[in-house]
Chain A
């Protein structure tokens, strides 16, 4: 009863991508694309601003497709996270993604929430973003031009807290996860929240890398909720690449990461904790790698 708002909303339910692109082409108004609506449900005051709602769940390709390609796995941006979590090949090849998604909200949320939604929300605390960054995820942006999607790196889409570079009436169609090129992968994901389920993170850290000839050949590091835009910690990464992993190096990397992030104090945590613990998580990640190699 209290949820009733009295503005009219035109609702679109396109059945496939061509229909979707056609709606966009002919529309003169701003369209609001939604998938899981887990955030929209909680933002009652935003509802009034919506005039045209496009439900991407209707678009089968976007809400169902998980396709193995030669260079990686292509996932529809509107596939519910539980669909990704329960996919045996993803579990096998991209365990870090599955582990991160399992820590999003609760199982009920995972049954509705989508990668596309998490990305477009552009929250510094978005749970999947650090992992998407270390996996070098590629975003396919619609509508198609000459039958082609525009392709950008996930690191290019976030321009600030709750802000993206995506223009009006564009949408994320697919997320492509390229197979990591190295062997003997190591990875780490840790989300720190005030409780285990249904908590917005205080900070998180994703690390992915591999060794070659006893040295770190490549490493990608991305921290959540400690920078305005979730991105890779390039400086810290380069401090580690082509090095042998030892305690001294780990300590340097930890300090480097602490310098590379710019956390704030808010209701969930404070600067000191976020800064230090982010470094501690990297130390934890690298020590575990060291202990196991």
Chain B
């Protein structure tokens, strides 16, 4: 067998052979370990910190809030301290950090630090936050409150035949990257170098520049990262700050290497959500109006919740055209570990909620769930809730019809219903449900989904991402960008984009290490933006390189050169790209992104182009439920994705499978709750994610419908597969049981309780 036969991931072979050096594999001379003393209460006043003189405090370095110049993590609201000072706002919040060369001694030191607390009332239920007397943030605990309106709901109410109402809840979800958080800070004279498992090096640099008030130069270097899924977007800023403070004070390199338990207990997760939605519909299932209210549990500090909320609100109508709509969305503070970024970023919550509403419309009006969806799908030229008119690359209907046809949905829907009748009848009577050993309940469900590619609203114009391509001495272009590889295939995608644009071999494109001293800030590696937004800069850079070489060749020989398939050609002369590049190896090309003027958004009134474009998908899940144990298994998963253009086809398929499986986990397996503010799981043995055994047979299809401003027409892909998977799975449970499912995860115990 040939390793990695299609070579669709340049980083794969080294990872599979265990050669890749992650941060824990690095040999760092004189390394000290960091440790954290955390709050044992959801909310408390810190009255005193005592250091027992029996311990030899010269053997460790200790940092508390009073050692920090600017004690806040620079993010959207700057409300989160690196170390809690007077009040701690969640169970597990860091109060004291310490470092030393020996872990045992650190454990000993921890025992000799005594913190006196006065426990304070806390907010543990997101629905109580806004009206609570406890104030975590501002006057009403709202990190953000969004109102989006289009059309007139009163018109919908008047014309509607039926009103359908549903309450929906979604739970926390943990990113569960294979490599837990890991950061090392190395102190130099006037500088601190950060190396680690980081998604967005410039976020870390920004946070540390602020923390040290510019008194230290900060260099952040991305080290091979074993998965992130958003979990290493904002969180590394905190532990990089901790490591840097201890490194500067001790003079030693300091590492924070979380074990799984510390990681799962205290780092960011997906926001839990509550939805209270009402639809005004005609009797044949046409939605005339939607009144959507959603709340995101945003934890003790704002982190990225404002933007997560924005994406959730802007995704609330999913792939449907709703003439009259009102969306009210709130991010509320609670005394729980702050949630942060996670693949989908608000989208999975919003899409799950509306898809359950659609199921309820079909159920209440006795219509086919397929027909209700089909009747309301948005198309080219129609308006989204922000009044954005979809002008190009719209494929909601095409992906929906494609997946329906490929899965034989309509036939199976009837067959499965027939199969289930005798089993359900017996179950409801408390009789033994099976006639033969192999009897199972079978379901089939569907959900369309979409994901706005790139930053929300004006985000891209604020960041103005910049890249640079330099030609090296060997005539190879070298890409300098801040985009990071974390297992998603970024390096391979960039090599493909630049090599195709330059018409050269992929191996001849080099992607530089992400070191903030050398790479420009092309923006964070988030929001399904690297390929689409930064990739488009690579194409621009390629075009400029070719033009520049043509100009220089012309200066030299006074004749015009044409560029064809990797060669500059003029009459009797022909010279390869590589030879030309070797001659002009001083060339550096910089490109900066801004939306084309056609894309405009007003983020005060929430009007306009919320996203430059959308990627579209539709999924069909076939589900089996064991009638004896109520165990639920997804056996087959069909999904059709329209992503403009698949830059790396095989990796795109892999992304779609992986993301869908993560969505299946969100629907059926991943169960984590904060009990009195403390998460009830410790790691892989009690936080259950799908393994290869739970992976259904996947039937993936990719449609292409080019986006005019993406590289070769490409749009964002990374997050979309997760967004629509959970509702497709739960849709199959509605089909089997004909009952309302409005909360994920759905566990066998929940289905069991329908009957007992």
Bound Cα distance from A243 to B253, whole angstroms: 74
Q: Are B257 and A273 in contact (CB under 8 A)?
A: no
How far, in Å, is A252 (CB) from chain B's closest CB?
A: 14
How far, in Å, is A289 (CB) from chain B's closest CB?
A: 11
How far, in Å, is B635 (CB) from chain A's closest CB?
A: 12
Q: Are A267 and B752 in contact (CB under 8 A)?
A: no
Question: Which 10 pairs of residues, A with B, have the shortest CB-CB distance?
Answer: A197-B693, A194-B688, A196-B693, A273-B749, A284-B628, A267-B686, A192-B629, A287-B432, A280-B628, A197-B691
Interface presence of A50 (CB below 8 A): no
Bound Cα distance from A6 to B105, whole angstroms: 10
How far, in Å, is B543 (CB) from chain A's closest CB?
A: 47
* Most chain A CB atoms below 10 A, which of B432, B434, B628, B680: B432
Q: Are B432 and A4 in contact (CB under 8 A)?
A: no
* Most chain B CB atoms below 10 A, which of A194, A269, A273, A280: A194
Q: Are A195 and B690 in contact (CB under 8 A)?
A: yes
Given contacts A194-B671, A194-B747, list 17 more A-B pairs with CB under 8 A. Answer: A2-B24, A2-B259, A192-B748, A195-B669, A195-B691, A198-B684, A198-B691, A250-B432, A267-B686, A270-B749, A272-B756, A273-B748, A281-B628, A284-B434, A284-B628, A291-B436, A291-B437
How far, in Å, is A139 (CB) from chain B's closest CB?
A: 27
Which residues of the partner chain A approach B686 to less than 8 Å between Cβ atoms?
Answer: 200, 267-268
Interface presence of B507 (CB below 8 A): no
Which residues of the partner chain B approach A247 to less than 8 Å between Cβ atoms?
Answer: 432
Interface presence of A58 (CB below 8 A): no
Interface presence of A15 (CB below 8 A): no
Q: Are B102 and A6 in contact (CB under 8 A)?
A: yes
How far, in Å, is A66 (CB) from chain B's closest CB?
A: 28
Q: Are B629 and A277 in contact (CB under 8 A)?
A: yes
How far, in Å, is A226 (CB) from chain B's closest CB?
A: 13
How far, in Å, is A100 (CB) from chain B's closest CB?
A: 16
Partner of A269, one of B24, B257, B633, B749: B749
- Given the known interface contacts A198-B691, A291-B436, the answer about A281 and B629 at a Cβ–Cβ threshold of 8 Å is yes
Q: Are B680 and A194 in contact (CB under 8 A)?
A: no
Interface presence of A288 (CB below 8 A): yes
Partner of B257, one of A1, A280, A283, A287: A1
Within 8 A of B (CB), among A175-219: 190, 192, 194-200
A-B residue pairs in contact (CB < 8 Å), sample of 22: A4-B103, A5-B104, A6-B102, A42-B685, A190-B629, A192-B629, A192-B631, A192-B748, A194-B669, A195-B690, A195-B693, A197-B691, A199-B688, A267-B686, A272-B756, A273-B749, A273-B752, A277-B630, A280-B629, A281-B628, A283-B628, A288-B437
Within 8 A of B (CB), among A104-146: 106
Q: Are B693 and A277 in contact (CB under 8 A)?
A: no
Interface presence of B694 (CB below 8 A): yes
Q: Are B753 and A283 in contact (CB under 8 A)?
A: no
How far, in Å, is B34 (CB) from chain A's closest CB?
A: 11
Bound Cα distance from A5 to B167, whole angstroms: 51
Interface presence of B681 (CB below 8 A): yes
Bound Cα distance from A153 to B102, whole angstroms: 47
How far, in Å, is B690 (CB) from chain A's closest CB?
A: 7
Q: Are A267 and B681 in contact (CB under 8 A)?
A: yes
Bound Cα distance from A69 to B255, whole angstroms: 57
How far, in Å, is B681 (CB) from chain A's closest CB?
A: 7
Q: Are A272 and B629 in contact (CB under 8 A)?
A: no
Interface presence of A276 (CB below 8 A): yes
How far, in Å, is A70 (CB) from chain B's closest CB?
A: 35
* Most chain A CB atoms below 10 A, which of B629, B633, B684: B629
Q: Encode A243-265 as 1/0 by CB contact (under 8 A) with B.
A: 00001001000000000000000
Bound Cα distance from A287 to B669, whole angstroms: 30
How far, in Å, is B625 (CB) from chain A's closest CB?
A: 13
Least CB separation from B756: chain A residue:
A276
Which residues of the partner chain A approach B630 to less than 8 Å between Cβ atoms?
Answer: 277
* Most chain A CB atoms below 10 A, which of B102, B434, B628, B681: B628
Which residues of the partner chain A approach B631 to less than 8 Å between Cβ atoms?
Answer: 192
How far, in Å, is A237 (CB) from chain B's closest CB?
A: 20
Which residues of the partner chain A approach B748 to less than 8 Å between Cβ atoms?
Answer: 192, 194, 273
Within 8 A of A (CB), among B632-689: 633, 669, 671, 680-681, 684-686, 688
- Given the known interface contacts A280-B628, A284-B434, the answer about A2 and B685 at a Cβ–Cβ threshold of 8 Å is no
Which residues of the partner chain A approach B756 to less than 8 Å between Cβ atoms?
Answer: 272, 276
Q: Are A287 and B688 in contact (CB under 8 A)?
A: no
Q: Are A1 and B681 in contact (CB under 8 A)?
A: no
Least CB separation from B626: chain A residue:
A192
Least CB separation from B672: chain A residue:
A267
Least CB separation from A285: chain B residue:
B628
Bound Cα distance from A250 to B630, whole angstroms: 20
Which residues of the partner chain B approach A273 to less than 8 Å between Cβ atoms?
Answer: 748-749, 752
Bound Cα distance from A287 to B431, whole angstroms: 11
Which residues of the partner chain B approach A272 to less than 8 Å between Cβ atoms?
Answer: 749, 752-753, 756
Q: Are B749 and A1 in contact (CB under 8 A)?
A: no
* Most chain B CB atoms below 10 A, which of A197, A198, A267, A268: A267
Which residues of the partner chain B approach A270 to less than 8 Å between Cβ atoms?
Answer: 749
Q: Are A283 and B432 in contact (CB under 8 A)?
A: yes
How far, in Å, is A30 (CB) from chain B's closest CB?
A: 21
Which residues of the partner chain A approach B681 to less than 8 Å between Cβ atoms?
Answer: 267
Partner of B752, one of A4, A42, A276: A276
Within 8 A of A (CB), among B680-733: 680-681, 684-686, 688, 690-694
Bound Cα distance from A192 to B753, whole angstroms: 17
Which residues of the partner chain B approach A276 to less than 8 Å between Cβ atoms?
Answer: 752, 756
Which residues of the partner chain A approach B671 to less than 8 Å between Cβ atoms?
Answer: 194
Which residues of the partner chain A approach B753 to less than 8 Å between Cβ atoms?
Answer: 272
Which residues of the partner chain B approach A277 to less than 8 Å between Cβ atoms?
Answer: 628-630, 752
Which residues of the partner chain A approach B437 to less than 8 Å between Cβ atoms?
Answer: 288, 291
Q: Are B432 and A6 in contact (CB under 8 A)?
A: no
Bound Cα distance from A270 to B103, whole angstroms: 38
Bound Cα distance from A283 to B103, whole angstroms: 53
Which residues of the partner chain B approach A195 to less than 8 Å between Cβ atoms?
Answer: 669, 688, 690-691, 693-694
Least CB separation from A276: chain B residue:
B756
Within 8 A of A (CB), among B614-635: 628-631, 633
Which residues of the partner chain B approach A284 to less than 8 Å between Cβ atoms?
Answer: 432, 434, 628
Q: Encode B291-333 as 1/0 by CB contact (under 8 A) with A.
A: 0000000000000000000000000000000000000000000
Q: Are A1 and B629 in contact (CB under 8 A)?
A: no
Which residues of the partner chain B approach A269 to less than 8 Å between Cβ atoms?
Answer: 749
Bound Cα distance from A127 to B631, whole angstroms: 18
How far, in Å, is B40 (CB) from chain A's closest CB?
A: 19
Bound Cα distance from A247 to B431, whole angstroms: 10
How far, in Å, is A270 (CB) from chain B's closest CB?
A: 6
Least CB separation from A268: chain B residue:
B686
Which residues of the partner chain A approach B691 to less than 8 Å between Cβ atoms?
Answer: 106, 195-198
Bound Cα distance from A199 to B630, whole angstroms: 16
Bound Cα distance from A281 to B694, whole angstroms: 22
How far, in Å, is A202 (CB) from chain B's closest CB?
A: 8
Which residues of the partner chain A approach B436 to less than 8 Å between Cβ atoms?
Answer: 291
Bound Cα distance from A5 to B432, whole angstroms: 54
Bound Cα distance from A48 to B619, whole angstroms: 50
Least CB separation from B435: chain A residue:
A291
Bound Cα distance from A64 to B352, whole angstroms: 53
Least CB separation from B684: chain A residue:
A198
Bound Cα distance from A42 to B683, whole angstroms: 11
Bound Cα distance from A286 to B514, whole angstroms: 63
Least CB separation from B687: chain A residue:
A267
Q: Are B752 and A2 in contact (CB under 8 A)?
A: no
Least CB separation from B747: chain A residue:
A194
Bound Cα distance from A267 to B681, whole angstroms: 8
How far, in Å, is B714 (CB) from chain A's closest CB?
A: 35
- Given the known interface contacts A192-B629, A283-B432, A291-B436, the answer about A267 and B680 at a Cβ–Cβ threshold of 8 Å is yes
How far, in Å, is B478 (CB) from chain A's closest CB?
A: 33
